[in-house]
Structure 1
């Protein structure tokens, strides 16, 4: 079973920070073969959703209040470890992330920059495509909104 914790940047332990950055790098840089600046100076402003399985971070998102990343609140860096993808915990991760935005920021409108091939995954969480395809770090993305 996945256990979630939600923390501000200054509440993360050094171990947690290292492990979440390691997971992001494993998937977004190595697996997707994409050289980009993951450590972008925005982590300090985010809420971090950590999904633990057997004391290892295997799922993660970062959340932003409205006006910081988009006009609406946003969810980004949505990632699950390749080791546990067969468990479909990405859906649990999104539910917890949406609930955390609604509770922490008292907002229900959320905008994301989604990898285009994950459109159906996000539609399962009531996100609707709101832009044409665009390239972000040479990967096709679309903006999606949830009201």
Structure 2
């Protein structure tokens, strides 16, 4: 049975306590438990970012990313903390998430390039959305990453 995903884009202050808890729980499950990566997930940026969440029918997080304003992490607006939860992987939720994230980026930061720090193994996935590699591979939290840019012409 296919679940209907409800998409939400909200600032931190627009989210309820239960929604924040669900988001942080999902991020911990993916980044810390599944990827066996000990790092400080709550980095102080959540308070000033936009949160794009795909909610499953049971109010659980199916997919999530956050949008960081320009000149905070990079000169350009960026997306990060991109996840799809284990129950939804392989369903196309990742493509839906990036599509929704890019739609929200265009609404909030029209006609601007977008920069990401992508896990290196996802480089081809992000290329399919118009991102191009702009750095050599590097380690971030002991995971290979690559910086990628989606030029304005791709928006």
Smaller-chain TM-score bracket: over 0.9
Match of 2:94 among 90, 95, 108: 90
Select between 53-62 and 31-40 the one with higher mean Cα deviation.
53-62
Q: Which residue of 1 aligns with 2:30?
A: 27
How big is each residue's C-alpha offset from its partner over 1:110-144, in whole Å with a ceiling of 9 and x where there is no partner?
00000001111111111111100000000000000
Query: How far off its partner does 1:107 sit?
Result: 3.7
Distance between the aligned counterparts of 1:96 and 1:78, measured in 2? 12
In the TM superposition, residue 62 of structure 1 has moved relative to its aligned partner by 0.3
Contact 1:114 1:142 in 2 (8 A): yes
TM-score by length of 2: 0.92
> Is the aligned partner of 1:18 residue 2:21?
yes
2:77 maps to 1:73 = yes
CA contact (8 A) 1:51 1:60 kept: yes
In 1, distance between residues paired with 2:17 and 2:28?
16
Q: Does 2:109 correspond to 1:105?
A: yes
8 Å contact kept, 1:65–1:101? no
The one-character-per-residue Cα deviations of 1:54-100 (angstroms, maximum 9, x if unpaired) are 12211100001211110111000000001110211110100110110
For residues 107 and 136 of structure 1, the distance between their equivalents in structure 2, rounded to whole angstroms, comes to 29
Structure 2: distance between partners of 1:19 and 1:2: 15
Q: Which runs of 5 or more structure 2 residues have no equivalent in the other structure?
A: none
Q: 1:107 to 1:67 in 2, by over 3 A?
A: farther
Gaps of 5+ in 1: none
Q: After superposition, what is the alpha-carbon deviation per residue over 1:8-46, rounded to whole angstroms, capped at 9, x for unaligned?
A: 010010000000000000000000000000000110110
Could you state the TM-score of these two structures normalised by the residue count of structure 1? Answer: 0.97
Structure 1 residue 9 and structure 2 residue 6: aligned? no
17-26 or 55-64: bigger deviation: 55-64
> How much is the aligned-residue C-alpha RMSD, in angstroms?
0.8
Distance in 2 of aligned mates of 1:6 and 1:20: 13
